[in-house]
Structure 1
Amino acid sequence: MKYVILIHANPEPWGHPTSLYTEEGRAISAEQHDEMDRQFDALLTEISGSGELVSAEALGDPATSRLFRWTATDRLVTDGPYAETKEQLAGFFIIDVESRERADEIAVQFAGPGSMVELRPAMWSGGDDQ
């Protein structure tokens, strides 16, 4: 079963890892950041080794995005960001796991200071949500 782990954050300025650029992330010590980095690296090593990690990407500043919309008369192009909220999509991971429970075990570890993680089943072409 494939799932997408969506990382939402509001880093200021925009940067990765987002925990270094959020208010909550700036409030914790360098030692805590180092430990979080160690734990995250261990998680990535684990899911890479098990074949559960399919792909991952950090995303650029939403202010640099372009939006393409279809209208009844034309296609409209505008500058981003799309969302009217402070939190924006900062990156994503695609995992392929045996169960929803395993996806939950992995996704919870992606939540960091100043971020929110969304776990969503991938939808197969022509099929239902998993």
Structure 2
Amino acid sequence: MAKYLLLKHYRGAPEPVNSAPMDQWTPEEISAHMRYMQDFADRLEKSGEFVDGQALAPEGTWVRYDGEGKPPVTDGPFAETKDLIAGWMVIDVDSYERAVELAGELSAAPGAGGRPIHEWLELRPFLTASPNVTD
């Protein structure tokens, strides 16, 4: 088994095929999208492939250590940004091919008008061994 992170970007690049910004969707379209995501997670939980997942609020804060005590804080990222992470899901699957299959299925979540949005999802394997650093 191998763990993968599926990152769901809000209006990330490249743009989804059938996507109006989510703030332009009707409440019914948002509910259908969220139901699809939950049904997907429930099915993977039953198969043992679901580890965890969360949706993220559009508000955020940037924090950076500057070596001077209390770290500086800056507002952002903002929903208007081109590459805001909207949520994530961790899956544990038998192969990379299965991870790609599931990411493709999740990409078909319904959007405006009930059409699949065909969004791009970022698929990242978990690092399984410490990288070796040589001089």
TM-score by length of 2: 0.64
**Which segments of 5 or more consecutive residues in structure 1 lack a partner in the other structure?**
11-17
* Distance verdict in 2 for CA 1:121–1:52, change over 3 Å: same
Matches within 5 A, 1:63-78: 64-73=59-68, 75-78=71-74
Residue number in structure 2 paired with 1:96: 92
* Distance verdict in 2 for CA 1:38–1:72, change over 3 Å: closer
Separation (CA, whole Å) in 2 of partners of 1:114 and 1:54: 23
* Distance verdict in 2 for CA 1:110–1:19, change over 3 Å: farther
* Distance verdict in 2 for CA 1:19–1:38, change over 3 Å: farther
Matches within 5 A, 1:8-87: 8-10=9-11, 21=22, 26=25, 34=32, 40=37, 42-61=39-58, 64-73=59-68, 75-81=71-77, 85-87=81-83
Deviation at 1:70, TM superposition (A): 2.0
Separation (CA, whole Å) in 2 of partners of 1:20 and 1:82: 14
Structure with more strand by fraction: 1
Deviation at 1:45, TM superposition (A): 3.1
Identity rate of aligned residues, in percent?
32
Residue 127 of structure 1 pairs with residue 130 of structure 2: yes
Give the number of aligned pairs: 112
Residue number in structure 1 paired with 2:7: 6
RMSD of equivalent CA atoms = 3.5
Residue number in structure 1 paired with 2:104: 108
Deviation at 1:127, TM superposition (A): 2.5
TM-score by length of 1: 0.66
